[in-house]
Amino acid sequence: EVQLVQSGAEVKKPGESLKISCKGSGYSFTSYWIGWVRQMPGKGLEWMGIIYPGDSDTRYSPSFQGQVTISADKSISTAYLQWSSLKASDTAMYYCARWGADGFDYWGQGTLVTVSS
Amino acid sequence: SYELTQPLSVSVALGQTARITCGGNNIGSKNVHWYQQKPGQAPVLVIYRDSNRPSGIPERFSGSNSGNTATLTISRAQAGDEADYYCQVWDSSTPLVFGTGTKVTVL
């Protein structure tokens, strides 16, 4: 069974750094792209970026380029999304999802990030 | 950058047919995927590559894509179909884009 399991909710202060994770299982982790999607409170889905764990090829949405870093460790089948300096506007739910020719076919349960002083 | 436009909301009577549109420049030349998101849950893929249903998705869900509009159709709407629905394409300029989202209400 394909599963993507994300790390737990985080509460951070502005200016702090953060790295959240997404662990894949039940399939060949290096053979599919993993994408990250933001959903701000009461808003729609926004694609942030995508990584191919097989060779770490990474693409970013222009809206998020330079704002976050996406990485992966194929040895432990885990993808990451990180911030070096959080802002209150980063408060959102973040989803990882497996991407292929058939779209985002499997999703993680989401990680809620709250940034507040 | 490429943009996808959806109606903010669609209402449908119980047992009737709901149609959700997704507008984009020459979207008919792209593969469109559709996602359903219920409150407090992660999105779920309901249609991939314009008109294909993943296993476990009821036949009541169907899709089409032509010209500048893709459409998700929900036949015989049920109360459990109430959710937000998003279209999504891969475009060389962006490259991944989600639509603005449509809230479906079953009356």
- Give residue B40's region: left, alpha or beta (phi > 0; psi -120 to 50): left
Nearest residue in B to A62, CA atom:
B94
Q: What is the pLDDT of residue B82?
A: 97
Statement: residue A83 has pLDDT above 90: yes
User: What pLDDT band is residue B93 in, cutting at 50, 70 and 90?
Assistant: confident
Q: Which residues of A touch B45 (CB under 8 A)?
A: 102-105
Inter-chain contact A44–B45, Cβ cutoff 8 Å? no
Query: What are the angstrom distances between the C-alpha of A50 and each of A18, A24, A35, A74?
Result: 18, 14, 4, 15
* pLDDT at residue B51, rounded to an integer: 97
Instruction: State the pLDDT at residue B94.
Output: 72
pLDDT for residue B90: 85
With a cut of 90, say whether residue B92 has pLDDT above it.
no
pLDDT 10s digits, B22-67: 999 999 999 999 999 999 999 999 999 999 999 999 999 999 999 9
Q: Which of B12, B20, B17 is nearest to B88 (CA)?
A: B20
Read off the amino acid at residue A78.
Answer: T
For residue range A86-117, what is the model confidence (pLDDT) as tens digits?
999 999 999 999 998 899 999 999 999 999 99
Residue B1 has pLDDT above 90, yes or no: no
Calculate mean pLDDT across residues A22-49.
97
Contact A103 B98 (CB under 8 A): no
Burial class of residue B56, CB neighbours in 10 A (0-12, 13-18, 19+): exposed
SS3 assignment for chain A: CCEEEECCCEEECCCCCEEEEEEEECCCHHHCEEEEEEECCCCCEEEEEEEECCCCEEEECCCCECCEEEEEEHHHCEEEEEECCCCHHHCEEEEEEEEECCEEEEECCCEEEEECC
Q: Which residues in chain A are closer than 8 Å to B20, comparing Cβ atoms?
A: none
Note the pLDDT tens digit of each residue in A5-23.
Answer: 999 999 999 999 999 999 9
- Cβ of A44 within 8 Å of Cβ of B101? The answer is yes
Q: Which residues of A touch B54 (CB under 8 A)?
A: 102, 105
Residue B95's pLDDT band (cuts 50, 70, 90): confident
Q: Does residue A25 belong to the interface with chain B, where contact is any CB pair within 8 Å?
A: no
Chain A closest-CA separation from residue B70 CA (Å): 15
pLDDT of residue B33: 97
With tokens 């300096």, the residue in question is A85
Q: Does A11 touch chain B (CB under 8 A)?
A: no
